[in-house]
Amino acid sequence: MTAAGIAAPLAALALSHAGMAGLALAMDRHHEQATGRAEVPRAQRLALRAAAGLLLALALAACTGAWGATVGFVAWCGFLTAGGLLAGLLFTYGPGLAVRAAALALAAGLCAAWAASGAPVP
């Protein structure tokens, strides 16, 4: 398997996890677990939801770019499930770790998406 073949699934999984964690952080309960503040400010809630939606769309783009529209959409659904499950488990057992893992997944996912796109390195 080539590097681009490995990068697309890694990008999809990492971006799905970061997106699902972002959606979780936009909820009062998980935000309180992670930060100690009882409520998410409205502007921050909207920003988290928008960023999470963008990350999930990037995960879809990585899947459809690697496998085409039909298989890519089905694979994306699987990666959404895996990313959501991972985010849910981390928020349940280690909310502080969940935020750090989501930040790491965001960085890794963006790097892998760039590698999967075949764009030249500056």
Number of domains in the chain: 1
Judge whether 118 lies within some domain: no
Judge whether 119 lies within some domain: no
For residue range 9-37, list pLDDT tens digits in order.
999 999 999 999 999 999 998 888 888 88
**pLDDT band of 38, cuts 50, 70, 90:** confident
**pLDDT band of 5, cuts 50, 70, 90:** confident
Judge whether 83 lies within some domain: yes
Judge whether 19 lies within some domain: yes
Domain that holds residue 46: 3-113
pTM of the model: 0.92
Q: How far apart are CA 91 and CA 43, in angstroms?
A: 22
